[in-house]
């Protein structure tokens, strides 16, 4: 019996999977070219830490959890950081001549050989323990903090001449940006952002310093403050990596960097903005091989999910996702595309830029500087025999007109729009001079979305909320209906509602939050609402909407997620009311 088969057998014995499902999991792993444990985690059959414990039984190794363990640099450096990172091993304890080493992949015999060789040369005996990837990452961070990693580079850099882009020709700038200190600083800043789960990196100049901020779960955090003297060199180094013009500091520039961390491909979308006397850099981090989450994973459930699933069976018409910048509209659209992506359907997308690369979908990026816009791209798409068209954003009258025309001629069109509510999409499109009778004939679904931070599951605790907030929740519960709330919230008792918050722990960076969840409202443009629109009714009232369907407002969906223990009242009010 192979190790993978033995793993599935133990999971079956523990009633984590059904024995008849084991074969399907093996087939799925083989067809995807992945390990069985990758499939188990991606399908959320078992969490990574529990899986590591089961694997420890398979490999006859003791299990160790290092996530919150303070190891100490003297112990962890028994194995060099280079060896640890290459072989995914970590030394977490040392006593006399005996060391305890956590190993991520016991099948990696080269790792065992390398550690045994190093230990023998130092007169050490090794005890191996099986650890999870999360444990490895947490322990690996203890080699050096971000500040420590940069200190030697900064010391070296302080001895060099300050780089001012305007005073150097391109050849000189290329040589400077390849220098070890500058390259090291940029490399460390990027790596720590990836390991910390950041979505964006901001490198911002001020008069006396250069500030590095990471956006994690939608919130910017200052991670590092560097001397102002290194800022121009950092910007120049990033430009080199993104193939941008070094000597151009007067206009904005956009580029892209592709890097590999822990065997995963990452795209960094680089934006350079000229400021007074300096340039600011923002890098969006995208995991290139990552598949979009499912609608359920995003947080869609109940009536919202039912409406989307019902309308995705249609073969024509217009579906819109609305919300402010950074509310996850594009991710939701790609979750939808992932659902309808089948061999017999031709899906084409027009994006700015391409974020998720999905197998089986023809994806194109607009280039306004050469005249390739959303509008011109849409015209070209009609000659590509599409079934489904995704337009990154409806920004102007021409794009709106073409999108409506495409939906009217038998295509399923999905796009995004900047409005604050689902109903707000209708007056927005009317203001773009879309004819009311055409809009009523094509529009069938409008999704409004915000992203709220989720409570960290590792430090979750009960909490009392102020009476003022309690009154708001009770009023919205009454409006939604107690029966619907009971269907959404397990063991719900209106007389004894339970609320939670995150206390703060090392796993969530003491923020009390980890990850994000979508708060949404989904408007089904049914026959009754179509009549309203065709008659020229620009603004639909909540009363009119609720007379035509079961409708849960975005704030109400947020309060339901508070009652489910997924997020907090403060977070819901922050993203919706502010």
Give the CA distances from residue 298 to residues 181, 454, 508, 556, in Å, rounded to whole numbers and listed in that order.
41, 11, 19, 17
Residues 6+ apart with CB under 8 A from 262: none
**Range 98-102 average pLDDT:** 92
Output the pLDDT for position 427.
95
For domain 146-287, give the fold.
Answer: Beta-Lactamase (3.30.450)
Whole-angstrom Cα distance, residue 329 to residue 324?
Answer: 9
Output the pLDDT for position 176.
46
Q: Measured in Å, how far apart are the chain's first and last C-alpha atoms?
A: 58
Does residue 262 have a pLDDT over 80?
Answer: no
- Buried b or exposed e, range 537-575, using 16+ CB within 10 angstroms: beebeeeebeebeebbbbbbbbbbbbbbbbbbbebbbbb
pLDDT digits (tens, 9 = 90+) for 219-256: 898 888 888 888 999 999 999 999 999 989 999 999 98
**Range 295-321 average pLDDT:** 95
Yes or no: say if 293 and 356 are a contact pair by the CB < 8 Å rule: no
**Range 516-533 average pLDDT:** 95
Output the pLDDT for position 63.
92
pLDDT digits (tens, 9 = 90+) for 276-297: 889 999 999 988 767 788 999 9
Domain boundaries, the chain: 3-139, 146-287, 295-577
From 146-160, 437-451, 522-536, the region with the lowest mean pLDDT: 146-160
Output the pLDDT for position 153.
62
Strand 279-287 to strand 200-205: parallel, antiparallel, or no bridges (unpaired)? antiparallel
**Domain 3-139 classification at class level:** alpha beta
Does residue 529 have a pLDDT over 90?
Answer: yes
**Range 21-39 average pLDDT:** 80
**Range 247-266 average pLDDT:** 88
At 161, the pLDDT band (50, 70, 90 cuts) reads very low
CB-count exposure of residue 26 (10 Å: 0-12, 13-18, 19+): middle
Output the pLDDT for position 77.
81
**Domain 295-577 classification at class level:** alpha beta
At 25, the pLDDT band (50, 70, 90 cuts) reads confident
Give the CA distances from residue 387 to residues 1, 383, 400, 408, in Å, rounded to whole numbers and listed in that order.
47, 11, 18, 12
At 578, the pLDDT band (50, 70, 90 cuts) reads low
Whole-angstrom Cα distance, residue 151 to residue 158?
Answer: 10
Output the pLDDT for position 146.
57
- Kindly tell me the number of DSSP H helices and DSSP E strands found in the chain: 25, 18
CB-count exposure of residue 358 (10 Å: 0-12, 13-18, 19+): middle
DSSP E strands: which ranges in 104-230? 125-130, 200-205, 209-216, 219-227
Crossing angle of helices 48-58/3-13, nearest 10°? 110
Give backbone dihedrals phi and psi of 404, rounded to 5 degrees, phi first: -65, -45
Residues in the chain: 578
Output the pLDDT for position 162.
37
Q: Kind and range of the H or E element at 379?
A: helix 374-381
Largest CA distance in the chain: 86
């Amino acid at each position: 019996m192979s190790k993978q088969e033995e793993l599935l057998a133990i999971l079956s014995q523990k009633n984590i999977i059904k024995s008849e499902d084991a074969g399907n999991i093996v087939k799925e792993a083989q067809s995807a070219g992945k390990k069985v444990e990758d499939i188990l985690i991606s399908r959320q059959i078992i969490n990574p830490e529990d899986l590591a414990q089961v694997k420890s039984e398979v490999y006859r190794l003791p299990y160790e959890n290092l996530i919150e363990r303070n190891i100490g640099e003297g112990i962890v450096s028994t194995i060099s950081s280079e060896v640890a990172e290459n072989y995914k091993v970590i030394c977490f304890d040392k006593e006399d001549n005996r060391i305890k080493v956590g190993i991520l992949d016991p099948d990696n015999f080269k790792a065992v050989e390398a550690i045994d060789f190093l230990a023998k040369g130092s007169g050490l005996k090794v005890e191996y323990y099986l650890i999870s990837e999360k444990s490895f990452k947490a322990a690996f961070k203890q080699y050096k903090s971000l500040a420590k990693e940069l200190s030697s580079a900064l010391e070296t850099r302080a001895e060099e001449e300050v780089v001012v882009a305007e005073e150097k020709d391109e050849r000189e700038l290329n040589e400077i940006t390849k220098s070890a200190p500058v390259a090291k600083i940029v490399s460390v800043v990027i790596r720590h952002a990836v390991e910390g789960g950041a979505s964006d990196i901001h490198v911002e100049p001020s008069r006396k310093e250069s500030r590095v901020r990471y956006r994690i779960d939608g919130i910017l955090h200052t991670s590092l403050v560097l001397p102002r003297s290194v800022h121009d060199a950092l910007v120049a180094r990033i430009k080199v990596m993104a193939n941008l013009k070094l000597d151009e500091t007067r206009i904005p520039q956009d580029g892209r960097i592709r890097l590999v961390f822990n065997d995963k491909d990452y795209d960094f979308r680089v934006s350079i903005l000229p400021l007074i006397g300096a340039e600011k850099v923002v890098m969006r981090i995208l995991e290139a091989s990552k598949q979009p989450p499912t609608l359920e994973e995003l947080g869609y459930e109940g009536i919202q999910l039912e409406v989307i699933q019902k309308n995705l069976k249609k073969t024509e018409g217009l579906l819109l996702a609305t919300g402010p910048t950074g509310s996850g509209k594009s991710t939701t659209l790609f979750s939808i595309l992932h659902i309808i992506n089948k061999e017999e359907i031709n899906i084409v997308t027009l994006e700015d830029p391409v974020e998720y690369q999905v197998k089986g979908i023809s994806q194109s990026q607009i280039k306004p500087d050469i005249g390739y816009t959303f509008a011109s791209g849409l015209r070209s798409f009609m000659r590509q025999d599409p079934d489904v068209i995704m337009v990154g954003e409806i920004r102007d009258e021409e794009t709106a007109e073409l999108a409506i025309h495409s939906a009217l001629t038998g295509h399923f069109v999905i796009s995004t729009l900047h409005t604050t509510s689902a109903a707000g999409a209708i007056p927005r499109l009317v203001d773009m001079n879309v004819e009311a009778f055409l809009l009523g004939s094509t529009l069938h679904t409008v999704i409004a979305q915000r992203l709220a931070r989720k409570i960290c599951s590792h430090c979750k605790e009960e909490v009392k909320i102020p009476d003022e907030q309690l009154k708001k929740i009770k009023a919205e519960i009454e409006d939604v209906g107690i029966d619907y709330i009971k269907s959404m919230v397990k063991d719900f008792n209106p007389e004894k509602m339970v609320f939670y918050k995150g206390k703060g722990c090392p796993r969530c960076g003491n923020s009390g939050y980890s990850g994000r969840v979508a708060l949404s409202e989904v408007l089904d443009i049914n026959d009754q609402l179509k009549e309203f629109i065709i008659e020229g009714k620009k603004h639909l009232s909540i009363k009119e909407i609720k007379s035509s369907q079961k409708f849960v407002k975005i704030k109400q969906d947020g309060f339901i997620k508070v009652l489910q223990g997924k997020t907090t009242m403060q977070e819901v009010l922050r993203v919706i009311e502010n």
